[in-house]
Amino acid sequence: MQFIQNTKLQQLYLRAAIGIAYLWEVADRLGLLGANGHPHVGWGDWSHFMTYARQVMGFLPGKIIPVFAVIATVGEALCGLLILAGFFTRMAAIGSGILSLCFAIAMAISFGIDSPIGYSVFTLSAASFVLAGLPNYAWSIDNWDTTNSINKQLKNYVAENK
C-alpha cells in the first residue's frame, strides 16, 4: 500500500499527459497549431476535422455527426483544462475515460480494432479511469480547496474552544 500513498509525481504526470493531449487535439482542430498540411498538424481546421469525424462516426446518421463532434470537442477541452488544473479532477477523469472509450469503440467499429489500439485510445481511457481512482491530487485546485477547508474548520474549532 505504500505505492498508493506515494503518488504525487505519478498523478501529476498523468494529469499533465492527459490534459495536454486533449488540449493539443482541440487546438489542432481549431487551427491554432497551423494550417492543414504543415508539420505536426493533423487537421489544421474544423472542416478537415469534420471529414475525419464523419469517417469515425460513419455508422451514425449523418445529421447527428456534427453534433457529436462539437460535444466531443467541448468535452475534450473541458476535461483537458479541469484535469490539468486539478479542479473536479475525479469527475473530469471519469468523463475523460468515458469520452475516450466511446471514441475507441467508434474507431474500432469504423476502422477495425487495430486503429484504437495503435493510437493508444484504450490506453487513454484506462489511464483516465486510473486517475479517477487515485485517493488525492497533489498540486491541484482540489487539494488546495480541501486543505483550505480543513484549515478553516480547524481555525474555527480552535477559536470556539479557547
Domain extent listing, the chain: 2-160
Q: What is the chain's mean pLDDT, rounded?
A: 91
Contact in structure between 56 and 110 (CB atoms under 8 Å):
yes
Confidence (pLDDT) at 91: 96
pTM of the model: 0.85
Convert the pLDDT of each residue in 7-45 to its tens digit: 899 999 999 999 999 999 999 999 999 999 999 999 999
Confidence (pLDDT) at 1: 47
Please give the C-alpha separations between residue 98 and each of 50, 68, 71, 95, 112, in angstroms, as whole numbers.
Answer: 21, 14, 13, 5, 19
Query: What mean pLDDT comes out for the span 85-95?
Result: 96
- In the structure, what pLDDT confidence band is assigned to residue 72 with cuts at 50, 70 and 90? very high
Query: What mean pLDDT comes out for the span 137-160?
Result: 73
Confidence (pLDDT) at 144: 84
Would you say the C-alpha torsion 127, 132, 135, 139 has a positive or negative sign?
Answer: positive
- In the structure, what pLDDT confidence band is assigned to residue 112 with cuts at 50, 70 and 90? very high
